[in-house]
Amino acid sequence: MVVLVTGANGQLGQALQSIYEDYPEIQFVFSSSSELDITKQNVCSSVFKKIKPNYCINTAAYTAVDKAEVELKKAFEINVKGVENLANVCKEYNTILIHISTDFVFDGQSSKAYTEKDIPNPKGVYGRTKLDGEQKIQNNWDKHFIIRTSWVYSQFGNNFMKTMIRLGNERESLLVVNDQIGTPTNAVDLSRSLIKIILFPNDKQQKVFGIYNFSNEGFCSWFDFAKEIFKINNIQIDLKPISTLSYPTPAERPKYSVLDKTKIKTIFDIEINDWKDSLYKHVQI
């Protein structure tokens, strides 16, 4: 079984590389954006012709939420056009596409965890382009899994956890937003769940294509998340909560983006760690 991973140098791509040796039954091919630029259809076709993957995990994405508000074209090229290219080439080679999406497809106005059936309503360019990418897949290729996730962190790449550790070692005090609620997702936990989907019996897999939510269990604010990061790493800092109104950003963030994981847990028999447990397991770097 051959699994092609796009965006190999990104956070999730690196997380997959950190565990792939645990799955000798799978031949992973990791391609960075320089090796596989998903915005170029001819490049996608050339790579697929050579590799002929059974699965493609698309971790390539434009994820600069605030920059997307001014870099609309770049965000569109990667998150929409690039995803459409992958869907088309996956269809040509009968490759099952596993695409990573985001909680930003929702407006954050809910008071309960979002399910896969809730209607998306993105508030910014990033969320809109990710939703448009989802729809390109749905319109072009049936054999897909779209995985919406949130607040991804790990020891790889750039993320909130690593930023907090860096700032905690540089500053005596820090202000962190406490009125945006969601769930941290450890990239390795997400990676293992993606592989579990791939290893799901093929005859059953054909019946369960579609959209799924995945994050760790529980929920917290960014302030709570930062507090736990500092606690685990024994970083002494004067951490203070701040409201979203007091910390304006170019892109509007969802106030509440907790994801309901019932569907993915039930269908694929996936046990999901509580966010604190996963943080304690992986945070120290």
Give percent of the chain above pLDDT 70.
99
CA dist., res. 109 & res. 83, Å (int): 27
147-192 pLDDT, tens per residue? 999 999 999 989 999 999 999 999 999 999 999 999 999 999 999 9
118-155 pLDDT, tens per residue? 999 999 999 999 999 999 999 999 999 999 999 999 99
Three-state secondary-structure class, residue 10: coil
Return the active site residues: 126
Tokens of 174: 């820090």
CA dist., res. 103 & res. 92, Å (int): 29
The pTM of the whole model exceeds 0.85: yes
13-50 pLDDT, tens per residue? 999 999 999 999 999 999 999 999 999 999 999 999 99
Domains plus CATH for the chain?
2-158+184-217+258-272 (3.40.50.720)
The dihedral formed by the CA atoms of 53, 54, 59 and 62, expressed in degrees to the nearest 10 = 70
42-85 pLDDT, tens per residue? 999 999 999 999 999 999 999 999 999 999 999 999 999 999 99
